[in-house]
Amino acid sequence: MAFANEWQARKDICEVGRRLYDRGFAAANDGNISVRLAPERILCTPTGVSKGFLKPDDLCIVDLEGKQVAGTKKRTSEILLHLSVFKARPEIIGVLHCHPPHATAFAMVHETIPKCVLPEVEVFLGEVPIARYETPGTQTFADTVLPYVHNANTMLLANHGSVAWGNSIMQAYFNTEIIDAYCRMLILAKQLGPLKYLSEKQVGELLQFKKRLGIDDPRIHMEDCDLCGNSLFREGYDDFKTDSNAFAPPASSPNSCSGKPGQAKSSPATSSDASTEVLIKTITEQVLAALGQK
Ligand SMILES: [Zn+2]
Protein backbone atom coordinates (compact mmCIF):
# COMPACT_ATOMS: atom_id res chain seq x y z
CA MET A 1 0.00 0.00 0.00
CA ALA A 2 1.36 3.40 -0.98
CA PHE A 3 0.30 6.31 1.17
CA ALA A 4 -0.31 9.60 -0.53
CA ASN A 5 2.44 12.18 -0.76
CA GLU A 6 1.17 15.10 1.32
CA TRP A 7 1.72 17.88 -1.19
CA GLN A 8 0.25 15.82 -4.03
CA ALA A 9 -2.70 14.87 -1.79
CA ARG A 10 -3.38 18.54 -1.01
CA LYS A 11 -3.43 19.37 -4.73
CA ASP A 12 -5.61 16.33 -5.51
CA ILE A 13 -8.19 17.27 -2.86
CA CYS A 14 -8.41 20.81 -4.29
CA GLU A 15 -8.81 19.42 -7.82
CA VAL A 16 -11.50 16.93 -6.76
CA GLY A 17 -13.24 19.74 -4.85
CA ARG A 18 -13.37 21.90 -7.98
CA ARG A 19 -14.79 19.04 -10.05
CA LEU A 20 -17.43 18.27 -7.40
CA TYR A 21 -18.51 21.88 -7.25
CA ASP A 22 -18.50 22.36 -11.04
CA ARG A 23 -20.61 19.24 -11.55
CA GLY A 24 -23.15 20.31 -8.95
CA PHE A 25 -22.27 17.39 -6.67
CA ALA A 26 -21.68 19.75 -3.73
CA ALA A 27 -23.71 22.97 -3.53
CA ALA A 28 -22.40 25.89 -1.44
CA ASN A 29 -20.18 24.39 1.30
CA ASP A 30 -21.52 20.82 0.97
CA GLY A 31 -19.39 17.71 0.69
CA ASN A 32 -16.11 16.61 2.25
CA ILE A 33 -12.96 14.93 0.98
CA SER A 34 -10.20 13.05 2.81
CA VAL A 35 -6.92 11.29 2.02
CA ARG A 36 -4.90 8.97 4.27
CA LEU A 37 -1.29 10.18 4.58
CA ALA A 38 -0.19 7.52 7.11
CA PRO A 39 -2.00 4.73 9.01
CA GLU A 40 -3.34 7.22 11.58
CA ARG A 41 -3.07 10.53 9.74
CA ILE A 42 -5.92 11.80 7.57
CA LEU A 43 -5.79 14.96 5.46
CA CYS A 44 -9.31 16.40 5.13
CA THR A 45 -11.30 19.40 3.99
CA PRO A 46 -12.24 22.13 6.49
CA THR A 47 -15.80 22.88 7.56
CA GLY A 48 -17.60 25.89 6.09
CA VAL A 49 -15.50 26.26 2.92
CA SER A 50 -16.86 25.70 -0.59
CA LYS A 51 -15.18 22.74 -2.27
CA GLY A 52 -15.01 24.78 -5.47
CA PHE A 53 -12.55 27.29 -3.97
CA LEU A 54 -10.24 25.17 -1.81
CA LYS A 55 -6.56 26.07 -1.45
CA PRO A 56 -3.93 23.51 -0.36
CA ASP A 57 -3.29 25.42 2.89
CA ASP A 58 -7.00 25.27 3.85
CA LEU A 59 -6.80 21.54 4.60
CA CYS A 60 -6.61 19.94 8.05
CA ILE A 61 -4.91 16.82 9.40
CA VAL A 62 -6.64 14.62 11.99
CA ASP A 63 -5.87 11.35 13.77
CA LEU A 64 -8.13 8.30 13.60
CA GLU A 65 -10.24 9.62 16.48
CA GLY A 66 -10.92 12.87 14.63
CA LYS A 67 -8.63 15.00 16.80
CA GLN A 68 -7.13 17.79 14.74
CA VAL A 69 -3.33 17.74 14.68
CA ALA A 70 -2.61 20.32 11.96
CA GLY A 71 -4.26 23.12 9.99
CA THR A 72 -5.58 26.54 10.94
CA LYS A 73 -9.18 25.93 9.82
CA LYS A 74 -11.53 23.55 11.67
CA ARG A 75 -11.88 20.06 10.19
CA THR A 76 -15.07 18.95 8.45
CA SER A 77 -18.02 18.13 10.71
CA GLU A 78 -18.41 14.84 8.79
CA ILE A 79 -14.96 13.49 9.68
CA LEU A 80 -16.54 10.61 11.68
CA LEU A 81 -18.09 9.23 8.47
CA HIS A 82 -14.69 9.21 6.76
CA LEU A 83 -13.03 7.65 9.82
CA SER A 84 -15.58 4.81 9.82
CA VAL A 85 -14.32 3.85 6.38
CA PHE A 86 -10.63 4.39 7.17
CA LYS A 87 -10.82 2.33 10.40
CA ALA A 88 -12.72 -0.55 8.79
CA ARG A 89 -10.53 -0.66 5.67
CA PRO A 90 -6.85 0.05 6.50
CA GLU A 91 -5.90 -0.14 2.80
CA ILE A 92 -8.24 2.68 1.75
CA ILE A 93 -6.52 5.97 0.80
CA GLY A 94 -9.34 8.30 -0.32
CA VAL A 95 -12.92 8.91 0.89
CA LEU A 96 -15.41 11.31 -0.68
CA HIS A 97 -18.84 12.33 0.58
CA CYS A 98 -21.12 14.62 -1.44
CA HIS A 99 -24.68 15.10 -2.71
CA PRO A 100 -24.71 14.19 -6.43
CA PRO A 101 -28.28 15.03 -7.51
CA HIS A 102 -29.25 11.96 -9.56
CA ALA A 103 -27.85 9.43 -7.11
CA THR A 104 -29.25 11.40 -4.18
CA ALA A 105 -32.71 11.28 -5.82
CA PHE A 106 -32.59 7.48 -5.45
CA ALA A 107 -31.50 7.91 -1.82
CA MET A 108 -34.42 10.29 -1.20
CA VAL A 109 -37.05 7.76 -2.27
CA HIS A 110 -35.12 4.71 -0.96
CA GLU A 111 -35.16 3.16 -4.45
CA THR A 112 -32.86 0.15 -4.80
CA ILE A 113 -30.12 0.82 -7.36
CA PRO A 114 -30.74 -1.75 -10.14
CA LYS A 115 -27.95 -4.20 -10.91
CA CYS A 116 -27.10 -6.02 -14.15
CA VAL A 117 -27.82 -3.10 -16.46
CA LEU A 118 -24.57 -1.34 -17.43
CA PRO A 119 -21.17 -3.07 -17.76
CA GLU A 120 -19.16 -0.18 -16.30
CA VAL A 121 -21.31 -0.13 -13.18
CA GLU A 122 -20.93 -3.90 -12.70
CA VAL A 123 -17.15 -3.75 -13.14
CA PHE A 124 -16.25 -0.58 -11.29
CA LEU A 125 -18.92 -0.37 -8.58
CA GLY A 126 -20.80 -3.65 -8.18
CA GLU A 127 -23.89 -3.49 -6.02
CA VAL A 128 -24.48 -0.02 -4.55
CA PRO A 129 -26.28 -0.21 -1.19
CA ILE A 130 -28.29 2.52 0.54
CA ALA A 131 -27.69 3.02 4.26
CA ARG A 132 -30.40 4.03 6.72
CA TYR A 133 -30.94 7.71 7.57
CA GLU A 134 -29.37 9.16 10.70
CA THR A 135 -28.67 12.76 11.69
CA PRO A 136 -25.51 13.92 9.87
CA GLY A 137 -22.39 14.63 11.89
CA THR A 138 -23.11 12.06 14.60
CA GLN A 139 -21.33 8.81 15.39
CA THR A 140 -24.63 6.99 14.78
CA PHE A 141 -24.65 8.48 11.27
CA ALA A 142 -21.01 7.48 10.70
CA ASP A 143 -21.82 3.93 11.82
CA THR A 144 -24.50 3.51 9.11
CA VAL A 145 -21.80 2.63 6.55
CA LEU A 146 -20.40 -0.25 8.62
CA PRO A 147 -22.75 -3.03 7.42
CA TYR A 148 -21.65 -2.34 3.82
CA VAL A 149 -18.10 -1.02 3.96
CA HIS A 150 -16.36 -4.34 3.32
CA ASN A 151 -18.49 -5.32 0.33
CA ALA A 152 -18.88 -2.03 -1.53
CA ASN A 153 -16.77 0.90 -2.75
CA THR A 154 -19.66 3.30 -3.34
CA MET A 155 -22.90 3.68 -1.42
CA LEU A 156 -25.79 6.04 -0.88
CA LEU A 157 -27.00 7.49 2.41
CA ALA A 158 -30.79 7.64 2.70
CA ASN A 159 -32.23 11.17 2.42
CA HIS A 160 -28.72 12.58 2.18
CA GLY A 161 -26.13 11.75 -0.50
CA SER A 162 -23.28 9.45 -1.45
CA VAL A 163 -20.00 8.19 -0.04
CA ALA A 164 -17.29 6.48 -2.07
CA TRP A 165 -13.79 5.25 -1.28
CA GLY A 166 -10.79 3.80 -3.06
CA ASN A 167 -7.03 3.38 -3.20
CA SER A 168 -6.73 7.01 -4.31
CA ILE A 169 -8.97 10.04 -3.96
CA MET A 170 -9.34 10.12 -7.76
CA GLN A 171 -10.74 6.60 -7.66
CA ALA A 172 -13.28 7.64 -5.02
CA TYR A 173 -14.15 10.61 -7.23
CA PHE A 174 -14.56 8.44 -10.34
CA ASN A 175 -16.82 6.06 -8.41
CA THR A 176 -18.97 9.05 -7.50
CA GLU A 177 -19.09 10.18 -11.14
CA ILE A 178 -20.06 6.67 -12.25
CA ILE A 179 -22.94 6.31 -9.76
CA ASP A 180 -24.36 9.73 -10.58
CA ALA A 181 -24.07 9.17 -14.35
CA TYR A 182 -25.73 5.78 -13.93
CA CYS A 183 -28.61 7.20 -11.89
CA ARG A 184 -29.05 9.98 -14.47
CA MET A 185 -29.28 7.36 -17.26
CA LEU A 186 -31.73 5.32 -15.22
CA ILE A 187 -34.01 8.32 -14.79
CA LEU A 188 -33.83 8.98 -18.57
CA ALA A 189 -34.45 5.32 -19.41
CA LYS A 190 -37.48 5.32 -17.15
CA GLN A 191 -39.20 7.79 -19.52
CA LEU A 192 -38.80 5.33 -22.42
CA GLY A 193 -39.81 1.98 -21.04
CA PRO A 194 -38.91 -0.88 -18.74
CA LEU A 195 -35.24 -1.73 -18.20
CA LYS A 196 -33.79 -4.64 -20.12
CA TYR A 197 -31.43 -6.53 -17.83
CA LEU A 198 -28.22 -8.31 -18.78
CA SER A 199 -28.43 -12.08 -18.49
CA GLU A 200 -26.79 -14.02 -15.69
CA LYS A 201 -24.28 -15.31 -18.24
CA GLN A 202 -23.40 -11.81 -19.46
CA VAL A 203 -22.92 -10.59 -15.90
CA GLY A 204 -20.86 -13.70 -15.09
CA GLU A 205 -18.51 -12.74 -17.94
CA LEU A 206 -18.21 -9.18 -16.60
CA LEU A 207 -17.37 -10.54 -13.15
CA GLN A 208 -14.64 -12.76 -14.60
CA PHE A 209 -13.26 -9.70 -16.39
CA LYS A 210 -13.45 -7.79 -13.12
CA LYS A 211 -11.53 -10.58 -11.38
CA ARG A 212 -8.78 -10.36 -14.00
CA LEU A 213 -8.53 -6.61 -13.34
CA GLY A 214 -8.00 -7.42 -9.65
CA ILE A 215 -11.21 -5.71 -8.51
CA ASP A 216 -13.01 -7.80 -5.91
CA ASP A 217 -16.78 -8.29 -5.87
CA PRO A 218 -18.66 -10.47 -3.36
CA ARG A 219 -20.57 -11.98 -6.29
CA ILE A 220 -17.33 -13.47 -7.68
CA HIS A 221 -17.38 -15.80 -4.67
CA MET A 222 -21.05 -16.74 -4.92
CA GLU A 223 -21.79 -20.39 -5.46
CA ASP A 224 -24.99 -20.03 -7.46
CA CYS A 225 -25.73 -18.01 -10.57
CA ASP A 226 -28.47 -15.75 -9.26
CA LEU A 227 -26.31 -12.66 -9.74
CA CYS A 228 -29.04 -10.21 -10.65
CA GLY A 229 -32.14 -11.24 -8.73
CA ASN A 230 -30.71 -11.30 -5.23
CA SER A 231 -29.32 -8.39 -3.29
CA LEU A 232 -26.28 -8.87 -1.14
CA PHE A 233 -27.46 -6.10 1.10
CA ARG A 234 -31.21 -6.27 1.33
CA GLU A 235 -31.25 -9.28 3.61
CA GLY A 236 -29.05 -9.99 6.57
CA TYR A 237 -26.97 -6.84 6.71
CA ASP A 238 -29.24 -4.31 8.38
CA ASP A 239 -32.93 -3.90 9.12
CA PHE A 240 -33.28 -0.93 6.75
CA LYS A 241 -34.88 -1.98 3.46
CA THR A 242 -35.02 -0.14 0.15
CA ASP A 243 -37.86 -0.43 -2.39
CA SER A 244 -38.02 -1.29 -6.09
CA ASN A 245 -40.95 0.95 -7.01
CA ALA A 246 -39.51 2.66 -10.09
CA PHE A 247 -37.41 -0.24 -11.39
CA ALA A 248 -38.80 -3.76 -11.06
CA PRO A 249 -35.93 -6.21 -10.50
CA PRO A 250 -35.30 -8.93 -13.10
CA ALA A 251 -37.16 -12.17 -12.63
CA SER A 252 -35.04 -14.35 -10.39
CA SER A 253 -33.86 -17.58 -11.98
CA PRO A 254 -31.69 -19.33 -9.39
CA ASN A 255 -31.85 -22.65 -11.21
CA SER A 256 -30.90 -21.33 -14.62
CA CYS A 257 -27.33 -22.49 -14.19
CA SER A 258 -25.04 -24.08 -11.65
CA GLY A 259 -21.49 -23.61 -10.49
CA LYS A 260 -19.64 -20.38 -9.91
CA PRO A 261 -20.27 -17.24 -11.96
CA GLY A 262 -18.70 -17.50 -15.38
CA GLN A 263 -18.76 -21.29 -15.30
CA ALA A 264 -22.16 -21.53 -16.85
CA LYS A 265 -22.38 -23.85 -19.85
CA SER A 266 -20.92 -22.16 -22.90
CA SER A 267 -23.20 -21.44 -25.82
CA PRO A 268 -22.41 -20.75 -29.48
CA ALA A 269 -21.16 -17.27 -30.26
CA THR A 270 -24.01 -14.84 -30.71
CA SER A 271 -24.36 -11.18 -31.43
CA SER A 272 -24.62 -10.59 -27.69
CA ASP A 273 -21.18 -12.18 -27.25
CA ALA A 274 -19.86 -9.78 -29.86
CA SER A 275 -21.41 -6.79 -28.12
CA THR A 276 -19.95 -7.96 -24.80
CA GLU A 277 -16.51 -7.92 -26.46
CA VAL A 278 -17.04 -4.34 -27.58
CA LEU A 279 -18.15 -3.35 -24.09
CA ILE A 280 -15.16 -5.03 -22.50
CA LYS A 281 -12.88 -3.15 -24.90
CA THR A 282 -14.56 0.08 -23.79
CA ILE A 283 -14.07 -0.80 -20.13
CA THR A 284 -10.41 -1.64 -20.73
CA GLU A 285 -9.89 1.75 -22.35
CA GLN A 286 -11.50 3.40 -19.32
CA VAL A 287 -9.25 1.50 -16.93
CA LEU A 288 -6.16 2.54 -18.89
CA ALA A 289 -7.42 6.13 -18.97
CA ALA A 290 -8.04 6.04 -15.21
CA LEU A 291 -4.54 4.67 -14.59
CA GLY A 292 -3.10 7.38 -16.80
CA GLN A 293 -4.81 10.00 -14.62
CA LYS A 294 -2.85 9.03 -11.51
ZN1 LIG B 1 -23.68 15.52 3.43
The CATH number covering residue 164 comes to: 3.40.225.10
Ligand 1 centroid from CA 99, angstroms: 6
Ligand 1 centroid from CA 201, angstroms: 38
Cα separation, 88 vs 77, whole angstroms? 20
Q: Is 156 helix (H, G, I), strand (E, B) or coil?
A: strand
pLDDT of residue 257: 40
Ligand 1 centroid from CA 98, angstroms: 6
Residues 43-67 pLDDT 10s: 999 999 999 999 999 999 999 999 9
Ligand 1 centroid from CA 100, angstroms: 10
HSE on the CB side for 258, CA within 13 Å?
Answer: 0
Among the listed residues 43, 20, 239, the one whose alpha carbon sits nearest the alpha carbon of residue 147: 239
pTM exceeding the 0.75 threshold for the entire prediction:
yes
pLDDT of residue 256: 41
Ligand 1 centroid from CA 28, angstroms: 12
Cα separation, 213 vs 2, whole angstroms? 19
Ligand 1 centroid from CA 160, angstroms: 6
The total number of structural domains in the chain stands at 1
pLDDT of residue 270: 36
Cα separation, 62 vs 34, whole angstroms? 10
Ligand 1 centroid from CA 65, angstroms: 20
Give the other-Cβ count within 10 Å of 20's Cβ.
28
Query: Are 182 and 121 contacting, i.e. CB atoms less than 8 angstroms apart?
Result: yes
* Residue spans of the chain under pLDDT 50: 253-274, 293-294
Neighbours of ion ligand 1 (CB under 5 A): 161
Show the domain range for 287: 1-294
Ligand 1 centroid from CA 168, angstroms: 20
Residues 264-293 pLDDT 10s: 333 333 334 445 555 556 666 766 665 554
